[in-house]
Amino acid sequence: MIANASPGSAHTVERSTYSGEVQTRIKPLDIDYPQEIFSLSHVAIPFPITDPLYGIAPDDSENFNEHLGTLAPRGERGTLILTLDSMFRIASNPFFPYLLQRIDEGMGATPPPVVKSPPRTHETAAGTPDNFFDDLNALEQVGADEP
């Protein structure tokens, strides 16, 4: 879980409890909790704050003519129909760099497959040599000769 380091601080920490343990481990993060955000929505998780459509600080790498993450509608009552839920939900994740780091760490620790595949052979089920690759190479050579 990512949370404030203490109630009066914007500094964040990762708090985790490993399987089979009761002790909570605390790791300081290099990201302050944004003052204008009180929680994240499930929509925010896969988008960085710089996302051109959903980010709260969109970059200009793409142009969608709208920035849903910075939408602040003002105008006449009843003209724009939106639910309060859609107005308050954050659409990007200020902790996205941390999320990518954790994914990278996890991908590096991928366990080996449970079932090992048998080695590939170039034989048919009857035990005779399979000429598929030879035939494929021959077809490629014929295609290379054509103008």
Do residues 11 and 26 lie in contact, with contact meaning Cβ atoms separated by under 8 Å?
A: no
pLDDT value, residue 99: 86
- Assess if residue 136 is contained within a domain: no
Q: Phi-psi bin for 100: left (phi > 0), alpha (psi -120 to 50), beta?
A: alpha
Q: Give the domain extent around 102.
A: 37-110
Q: Is the same domain home to 29 and 42?
A: no
pTM: 0.55
Domain count, the chain: 2
Q: Is residue 121 part of a domain?
A: no
pLDDT at position 5 is: 92
Q: What distance separates the 2 farthest-apart alpha carbons in the chain?
A: 79
Domain match, 50 and 26 both = no
pLDDT tens digits in sequence order for the chain, 147 residues long: 888 899 999 999 999 998 888 999 999 998 898 887 877 767 677 888 888 888 888 888 888 787 888 777 777 777 767 676 666 778 888 888 888 888 888 777 666 666 666 555 556 666 665 666 565 666 666 555 555
Beta carbons of 120 and 73 less than 8 angstroms apart = no
- Give the three-state DSSP class for 142: helix
